[in-house]
A and B are shown apart, each in its own frame.
Chain A
Amino acid sequence: MDSTIAALLTQDGLTNGAIYCMIALALVLVFAVTRVIFVPQGEFVAFSALTLAAFEQNKLPGTVWLLLALGAVAALVDAGSLWREPRRLVRTWLGTSAPCVAAALLVWLVASAQLPFFVQVLTTIAAVTAMGPAVYRLAFQPIANATVLTLLIVSVAVHFVLTGLGLLFFGAEGVRTQPFTSASFTFGALNISGQSLLVYAFTAFLVIAMAAFFKFTLFGKALRATASNRTGARLVGVSPNFAGSLSVTLAAAIGAVSGLLIGPIATIYYDSGFLIGLKGFVGAIVGGLASYPIAAGGAIFVGLVESFSSFWASAYKEVIVFTLIIPVLLWRSLTTTHHEEE
């Protein structure tokens, strides 16, 4: 291996790592607020790329049906539990089902009017973000007090439901979207694409923004308080349901942006989200699902390992990345003090 290849692999690794980093940040965010290990995060990424690709191909994105399905089921479930209180019911509908339906309409409009690229991008972000509240409401809100383990099982189940729905609504074909910019910059032997720079910039922004939000703002602290004690948070005026819903919605928005950024770099299938998500996950675990900067570093490390192992032992790329988690866990078990979950 010479230095040019090493530089290329590093660049490749950094770009992928930056994408995993965004996933890792979203996972840490959701875990910090809801104690849910949010396995379906990768689906948001895939759905976002698939939506934009459908726009580009002048097809109606399957997102419309996905949103309508989520919105309708959430509306029915809320109607079932709140039919005695019409006012609260309407307010709840406005929070969960209405965004889904509105986003579905928007997607349909943008697709049929063939609006410009910029509008398509914003619509894609809106559409994927709108899934957040409904997913939280349907899967997690009813068991928000359950153990981390139960929440994890539900989370894995949601991942499979969403993947199945993805196959149903988007089909099995892979897509690659247009890059946002065709600009590229040359540094010596290195050629860095504008798309990669966008990925780095957004990731860096996200790391700083999230760390600052949770550390310095009152609202961020309130969200964290919910995770450690739901009852306590409610007593001081923080609604745990709102906090949970908000964190999943933010995660969906981050997923949507990551999907847009990764779309031009890799071919995305309806089930690509899982592998991308799991790699982000390995990164998040390095940070113990608690620290944003360490999780970010871990995710970038995963990207680099992946890129270098695809050079040395390409067939074993995935094996190496996933086996990496074992020494990471070992290291964590030796460095963290025993903590009991009651």
Chain B
Amino acid sequence: MKSLSTSRVLVLAVVALLVVAPLVAPAFYVTLLNYIGLYSLVALGLVLLTGVAGQTSFGQAAFVGLGAYTTAVLTTQYGWSPWLTLVVALAITLLIGYLLGLITLSMGGHYLPLATIAWGMSLYFLMGTIEQFGGFTGITGIPPVSIFGYSLEKESHFYYFIWIVVLAALWACANLLDSRPGRAIRALKQGSTMVEAFGVHPGRMKTAVFVIAAVLACVSGWLYAHLQRFVNPTPFGINQGIEYLFMAVVGGAASVWGAVLGATLITLLKTWLQDLLPKIIGEAGQFEIIVFGILLVIILQYARDGLLPYLQRFVPQRDRVLPAAADRLQHRAMPMANSPVLDVNAARKTFGGLVAVNDVSFAVNAREVVGLIGPNGAGKSTCFNLISGALETSSGSIKFMGQELTGQTASTISKLGLARTFQHVKLVATMTVVENVALGAYLRGTKGIIASALKLNRDDEAAALAEAMRQLERVGLAEHAHDAANSLPLGKQRIVEIARALASDPILLLLDEPAAGLRFAEKEQLAKLIRGLKGEGMTVLLVEHDMDFVMGLVDRLVVLNFGQKLAQGLPEAVQADPAVREAYLGA
């Protein structure tokens, strides 16, 4: 029999407590737990959106209101079944969430939260204004939900329904985060360039997360309407929106349970403050918001990851069981040795009046290691970004395996078999080494968000992790598979980046200053690894300014200076070239 891990025991204990609570606790606590459940659902969406994907919404309360009002109007005025109204509410939420996301998320930054403030305000005013919605007095007489003819009229019965939904949502979100799309979502905070290089569409991913958060809020609202059997606009205002965000920030994004922790703490604190503050101040009013606001500022200043990590310290974390390294994914056909792989022809990049890359031409053939070198400011990195699609070429052509790359997105280029590393290492600090490497295999998997949330992705997942392990063994870092990516020294982080690139099964490996900042021994290891890869049939283009590092490593060198090609050829010949010596030594 498998022994249970401590964290699993804890989850089971929480579930057991939830099962017995209504049998032993007074009605007041059942009510409280009902609300904690409803709030947890909304906070869960925000944990994914804010904590994991690095976006935020102040308008979640409006989505809760959307769920509550849709069912309130349709059940009381049109006599629809609550189950049917749930479908309608979800459809509206999906549409609005998708549209808001589409408009704001491709711009990045702060436009989504701003749009959600406005959307939250206008929906709140709409709910209070439209006559059919009962104005600020609201709608009464909402029927209870029945399941198979059994009516959940009693609060303690509805309690089980709420918590089954909450636990199911927690399970699904935890599954999602630990999957192919989940790794992409967790990588979003690293910036678009990195995820795009592995074929992830960041705008689409963020929109998906925003829609998930909106759906969770909508379900919470639907439940709320059938629990209260009454709705009015008050609980769906912008104040409640910030309270939801507060729950997510207090709990933190270290795990989906952060949402439950945050919802519990805030609900208890609010109940307590609403009791206490009027006694101190001597008058009624929403004074708890002062305390919440101050606490929120303090938590963001001193514990940006929320409070859950403080509790998790007491729970021993066991390494997950990984599949053995195996080669179970499809491979692309590799080109024959010396056939052309990359052909850069008169590539040009201008920034305003500055010509950063001035009609540079060179070629890379299969199984060759080519170094693109030059002093600082020579245009190496710009050239590299043109090839990888991070920058758009102003004129000229770049062909890869006969296909034109100019005008293609980084993600399309990555699909063609080009994989890159980054000069400033871009590993996801909150993921383990093996998860980071598995992100590289993103395009070789197929399972999407829904399949992953429902755990219908076991084969896909096992194959991706086996591939990640295989690449880690290939680069000699298998023993670090379970380590947090940012716990490794820089030299090893660079090699993890190479493993991640290899996991995408590339034809051409692009290395951006792989030796920068490395110590001598680390450089030796890196050079050995690159030679090994070449032996296995890999084609490599590396950008460097460290002459010594590239000399014994590459087959050919291309030298840039002031955006122009200065020389190219065998390393020894290039090194002897007087123009190159002058560029490097100024002599």
Report A's interface with B, CB cutoff 8 A. 37, 138-139, 142-143, 146-150, 152-154, 156-161, 163-165, 167-168, 172, 278, 281-282, 285, 315-316, 318-319, 322-323, 325-326, 329-330, 332-333, 336, 338-342
Question: What chain A residues lie within 8 Å of B115 (beta carbons)?
Answer: 325-326, 329
Q: Give the distance in Å from the alpha carbon of A148 to the alpha carbon of B110 in the complex.
A: 7
User: Are the C-beta atoms of A160 and B239 separated by less than 8 Å?
Assistant: yes
Distance in Å: Cβ of A166 to nearest Cβ of chain B = 10
B121 touches A333 (CB 8 A): no
Q: How far is the CB of A103 from chain B (nearest CB, A)?
A: 21
A147 to B239, CA, bound (A): 23
- Listed stretches B20-28, B122-130, B397-405, B514-522; interface member: B122-130
Q: Is the CB of B285 within 8 A of A318?
A: no
Question: Which residue on chain A has the smallest CB distance to residue B107?
Answer: A333
Q: How far is the CA of A315 from the CA of B285 in the complex (A)?
A: 27
Report the bound CA distance from A153 to B110 in whole Å: 11
B179–chain A nearest beta-carbon distance, Å: 25
Given A143-B301, A153-B300, A318-B122: A160 in contact with B55 (beta carbons within 8 A): no
- List residues of chain A with CB within 8 A of the CB of B125: 316, 318-319, 322
Interface residues of B in 26-60 (CB under 8 A from A): 50, 54-56, 58
Q: Are B191 and A329 in contact (CB under 8 A)?
A: no
- Bound: A143/B117 CA distance, A: 23
Distance between A47 CB and nearest chain B CB, rounded to angstroms: 15
> Are A339 and B296 in contact (CB-based, < 8 A)?
no
Residues A146 and B300 in contact in the complex (CB < 8 Å), given A161-B293, A338-B106, A341-B109: yes
- Give chain A residues whose Cβ lies under 8 Å from the Cβ of B292: 157, 160
* A/B interface sample: 12 pairs, CB < 8 A: A153-B50, A153-B249, A156-B245, A157-B294, A164-B290, A316-B129, A322-B121, A326-B118, A329-B104, A332-B111, A333-B107, A339-B107
* Contact for A163 among B113, B121, B289, CB less than 8 A: B289
Interfacial chain B residues near A339, Cβ < 8 Å: 107-109
Question: In the complex, what residue of chain B is closest to A333 when comparing beta carbons?
Answer: B107
Question: Does residue B133 face the partner (Cβ distance < 8 Å to A)?
Answer: no
Known contacts A158-B293, A316-B129, A37 near B122 by CB under 8 Å: no
B267 within 8 A of A: no
Known: A37-B114, A164-B289, A167-B287. A340 touches B192 (CB 8 A): yes
A161, A278, A319: the one contacting B126 at CB < 8 Å is A319
Do A139 and B122 contact each other (CB < 8 Å), given the known contacts A152-B113, A167-B285, A329-B111?
Answer: no
- A150 surroundings in chain B (CB, below 8 A): 300, 304
Of all A-B residue pairs in the complex, the 8 with the closest CB atoms, nearest first, are: A164-B290, A161-B293, A325-B118, A322-B122, A157-B296, A160-B293, A157-B293, A318-B125
Contact A142 B301 (CB under 8 A): yes
A316 to B287, CA, bound (A): 29
Given the known inter-chain contacts A149-B55, A282-B118, A316-B129, please indicate yes or no for A336 contacting B293, CB distance below 8 A.
no
Chain B contacts for A341, CB-based, 8 A: 108-109, 191
Cβ–Cβ contact B193 & A340, under 8 A: yes
- Report whether A161 and B54 are in contact in the complex, using a CB–CB cutoff of 8 Å: no
Judge whether A326 and B110 touch: CB under 8 Å: no
Determine whether the beta carbon of B103 is less than 8 Å from that of A338.
no
User: Inside 8 A of A340's CB, which chain B residues have their CB?
Assistant: 108, 191-193
From B302, which residue of chain A is reached at the shortest CB distance?
A142
Residues of A within 8 A of B126 (CB): 316, 319
Number of B interface residues in the complex (CB < 8 A) = 47
B107 touches A153 (CB 8 A): no
Distance in angstroms from B261 CB to nearest chain A CB is 18
Q: Cβ of B117 and Cβ of A315 under 8 Å apart?
A: no
Q: A158-B297, A329-B115 are in contact. Are A323 and B122 (CB under 8 A)?
A: yes
Q: What's the Cα separation between A329 and B116 when bound, in Å? A: 11
> Nearest Cβ distance between residue A204 and chain B, in whole angstroms?
27
A322-B110 in contact (CB<8A) = no
A278: chain B residues within 8 A (beta carbon):
117-118, 121
Chain A residues lying within 8 Å of B122, measured Cβ to Cβ, are 318-319, 322-323
Contact A333 B286 (CB under 8 A): no
Q: A325 vs B290: C-alpha distance in the bound complex, in angstroms?
A: 28
Interface positions of B (Cβ within 8 A of A): 50, 54-56, 58, 100, 103-104, 106-111, 113-115, 117-119, 121-122, 125-126, 129, 191-193, 239, 242, 245-246, 249, 281, 285-287, 289-290, 292-294, 296-297, 300-301, 304
What residue in chain B is nearest A336 (Cβ atoms)? B107
Contacts of A37 in B (CB 8 A): 110, 114
Query: Secondary structure at chain A's binding surface: helix, strand, loop or mixed?
Result: helix
A139, A149, A160, A326: the one contacting B56 at CB < 8 Å is A149
Of B56, B118, B191, B289, which one neighbours A153 at CB under 8 angstroms? B56
Tell whether, in the assembled complex, residue A161 and residue B104 are in contact, meaning their CB atoms are under 8 Å apart: no
**Which among B54, B121, B285 is the interface contact of A149 at CB below 8 angstroms?**
B54
Residue from the list B103, B107, B242, B281 in contact with A156, Cβ < 8 A = B242
CB distance from B129 to the nearest CB of A (A): 5
Task: Check A157 against B118 for contact (C-beta < 8 Å).
Answer: no
A338 and B108 contact, Cβ closer than 8 Å, known pairs A153-B56, A161-B290, A278-B121: yes
Query: Please, how many angstroms separate the alpha-carbon atoms of A160 and B245 in the complex?
Result: 13
What A residues does B191 contact at CB under 8 A?
Answer: 340-342
Chain B residues near A330 (CB, 8 Å)?
103
Q: Which residues of A contact B193 (CB under 8 A)?
A: 340
Q: In the complex, which residues of chain A have a beta carbon less than 8 angstroms from the beta carbon of B117?
A: 278
Contacts of A158 in B (CB 8 A): 293, 297
Which residues of the partner chain A approach B281 to less than 8 Å between Cβ atoms? 168
Find chain B residues with CB under 8 A from A138 CB.
Answer: 297
Q: Which of B56, B100, B103, B239 counts the most A-chain CB atoms under 10 A from its CB?
A: B103
- Residue on A with the closest CB to B99? A326
Q: For residue A325, which residues in chain B have a CB less than 8 angstroms away from its CB? A: 114-115, 118
Of chain B, the residue at the smallest CB distance from A270 is B285
Given the interface pairs A164-B287, A165-B290, the reply to whether A143 lies near B300 with Cβ below 8 Å is yes
Q: Are B118 and A338 in contact (CB under 8 A)?
A: no
Cα-based distance from A338 to B196 in the complex (angstroms): 14
Known: A160-B242, A341-B108, A341-B109. A168 touches B114 (CB 8 A): no
Among A153, A165, A168, A315, which residue has its beta carbon within 8 angstroms of that of B245? Answer: A153
A326 close to B293 (CB less than 8 A): no
Chain B hits for A336, CB < 8 A = 107
Contacts of B103 in A (CB 8 A): 326, 329-330, 333
Instruction: Give the chain A neighbours of B111 by CB distance below 8 A.
Output: 329, 332-333
A160 CB to closest chain B CB (Å) equals 4
> Which of B56, B113, B292, B301 has the largest number of chain A CB atoms within 10 A?
B301
Residues of B within 8 Å of A152, CB to CB, are: 56, 110, 113
CA distance in complex: A284, B297 (Å)? 25
Q: Are B107 and A332 in contact (CB under 8 A)?
A: yes
- Give the chain A neighbours of B239 by CB distance below 8 A: 160
CA distance A86 to B192 in the complex (A): 46
Residues of A within 8 A of B129 (CB): 315-316, 319
Given known contacts A161-B289, A164-B293, A168-B281, what 20 new A-B pairs fall within 8 Å (CB)? A142-B301, A147-B54, A148-B110, A153-B296, A153-B300, A154-B300, A154-B301, A157-B297, A160-B239, A164-B289, A165-B290, A167-B286, A172-B285, A316-B129, A322-B121, A322-B122, A326-B118, A341-B108, A341-B109, A342-B191
Contact B287 A168 (CB under 8 A): yes
Closest residue of B by beta carbon distance from A337? B107
Write the nearest CB–CB distance from A117 to chain B, whole angstroms: 31
B290–A168 touching, CB < 8 Å: yes
Chain B residues lying within 8 Å of A143, measured Cβ to Cβ, are: 300-301
Complex-state Cα separation, A340 to B50, whole angstroms: 18
Nearest CB in chain B to that of A330: its residue: B103
Q: Provide the bound-state CA to CA distance between A150 and B50, in Å.
A: 9
Chain B nearest CB, measured from A35 CB (Å): 9
Please give, as numbers and ranges, the residues of chain B lying within 8 Å of A285 by CB-CB distance: 114
Residues in chain A near residue B242, CB distance under 8 A: 156-157, 160
Chain A residues with CB under 8 Å of B108's CB are 338-341
CB distance from A251 to the nearest CB of B (A): 18
A323 touches B118 (CB 8 A): yes
Interface centre among A142, A154, A165, A322 (most CB of B within 10 A): A322
